[in-house]
């Protein structure tokens, strides 16, 4: 008998499971796909609340996640580093972004780049997801958690397996719990060899399209696209070439790199923001149902803060729902 079933083995599901194991729960994680094939593996995974509306609750999640990843980087957890970042501003900035309160070294500077009015500069956690999720899986199994391959298409399939179920199914939550606010956001990236870059560059209002350059230990993630309600992930060579052109215009060192591959993934977005709460209806036949899905492009940025909240809700039966309204 388990105490908690976590459905989903992306970064949201695994971080939730980790916090529950730390609290002493007996946890089984159910995943439809091999963890190596989850959308989290495709993510550039640099802390930044992409297209996420700010409020005190979301800021708390983001700050907690920042602190956890920063601590992990300090301990040498595989795949986790602190990455200096430049955000290019095409128009003069007024004030600071809502998330700046979570970033200790956030500052506003000028810029010498043509067409750029200024820059935000800051240092944030960056995660190479393949070694990191492998480490997280090892941490879970060492703590007694069980990973089981099982595609869950209805909550009745897990009823009776444990008194608490955590729904961390990402895009699958739309069908699993009948949430019409859930939708895909396609993102395309290009992986290239790293010519020695160490600083991330973001240019979200680039006239040619959203642009980012995220160095990793052996490659650089170049992006990208943010395409709501698009779910075709077939290769598009022209989009890849356009991404490479935009990135090279900003960082000329990319002119001589070799393209490794192009990838596309579906961000699990939700109109109205992430849902992290206990479902009033519970599970069919009895039991508690806790939701943790709908993070869009900010899954890595909010993962540990949301996991903390899941653990808090699980420890307090009957905790009030605080889900933000659907916009």
- Smallest Cα–Cα separation from 19: which of 319, 320, 314, 323? 314
Q: Is residue 225 part of a domain?
A: yes
Say yes or no to pLDDT of 322 above 50: no
Categorize the per-residue pLDDT at 253 as very low, low, confident or very high, splitting at 50, 70 and 90: very high
Overall pTM surpassing 0.85 (yes/no):
yes
Q: Is residue 322 part of a domain?
A: no
Q: Is residue 108 part of a domain?
A: yes
CATH number (domain holding residue 216): 3.30.9.10
- C-beta separation of 149 from 155 below 8 A: no
Say yes or no to pLDDT of 301 above 50: yes
Q: Is residue 320 part of a domain?
A: no
Residue 310's contacts (CB-CB under 8 Å, 6 or more residues apart) are 16, 19, 20, 166, 276, 290, 292
300 half-sphere exposure, CB direction, 13 A CA radius: 24
Encode pLDDT of 190-229 as tens digits. Answer: 999 999 999 999 999 999 999 999 999 999 999 999 999 9
Peptide bond preceding 224: is omega within 30 degrees of 0, i.e. cis?
Answer: yes
Q: Is residue 288 part of a domain?
A: yes
Decide: residue 153, CB within 10 A, 0-12 exposed, 13-18 middle, 19+ buried.
Answer: exposed
- C-beta separation of 42 from 188 below 8 A: no
Q: Is residue 45 part of a domain?
A: yes
> Which structural domain, as residue segments, surrounds residue 181?
4-315
Encode pLDDT of 132-154 as tens digits. Answer: 999 999 999 999 999 999 999 99
Q: Is residue 323 part of a domain?
A: no
- C-beta separation of 301 from 47 below 8 A: yes
What's the confidence (pLDDT) of residue 40? 63
Q: Is residue 324 part of a domain?
A: no
Structural domains of the chain, count: 1
């Amino acid at each position: 008998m388990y105490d908690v079933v976590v459905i989903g083995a992306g970064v949201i599901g695994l971080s939730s499971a980790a916090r529950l194991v730390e609290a002493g729960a007996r946890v089984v994680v159910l995943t439809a796909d091999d963890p190596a094939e989850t959308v989290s593996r495709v993510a550039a995974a640099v802390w930044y609340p992409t297209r996420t509306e700010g409020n005190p609750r979301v800021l708390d999640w983001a700050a907690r996640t920042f602190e956890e990843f920063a601590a992990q980087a300090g301990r040498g957890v595989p795949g986790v580093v602190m990455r200096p970042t430049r955000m290019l501003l095409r128009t003069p900035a007024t004030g600071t972004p809502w998330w700046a309160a979570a970033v200790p070294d956030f500052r506003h500077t000028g810029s010498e780049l043509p067409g750029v009015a200024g820059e935000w500069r800051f240092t944030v956690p960056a995660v190479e997801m393949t070694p990191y999720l492998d480490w997280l899986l090892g941490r879970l199994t060492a703590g007694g958690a069980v990973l089981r391959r099982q595609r869950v298409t209805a909550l009745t399939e897990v009823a009776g397996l444990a008194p608490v179920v955590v729904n961390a199914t990402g895009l699958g939550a739309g069908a699993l719990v009948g949430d019409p606010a859930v939708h895909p956001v396609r993102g395309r990236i290009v992986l290239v060899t790293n010519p020695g870059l160490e600083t991330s560059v973001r240019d979200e209002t680039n006239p040619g399209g959203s642009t980012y350059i995220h160095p990793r230990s052996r490659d650089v993630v170049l992006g990208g696209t943010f395409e709501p309600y698009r779910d075709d992930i077939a290769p598009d060579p022209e989009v890849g070439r356009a991404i490479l052109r935009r990135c090279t215009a900003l960082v000329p060192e990319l002119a001589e790199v070799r393209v490794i591959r192009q990838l596309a993934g579906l961000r699990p977005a939700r109109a109205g923001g992430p849902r992290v709460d206990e479902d009033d209806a519970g599970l069919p036949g009895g039991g508690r149902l806790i939701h943790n899905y709908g993070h869009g492009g900010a899954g890595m940025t909010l993962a540990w803060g949301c996991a903390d909240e899941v653990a808090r809700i699980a420890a307090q039966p009957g905790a009030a729902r605080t889900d933000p309204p659907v916009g």
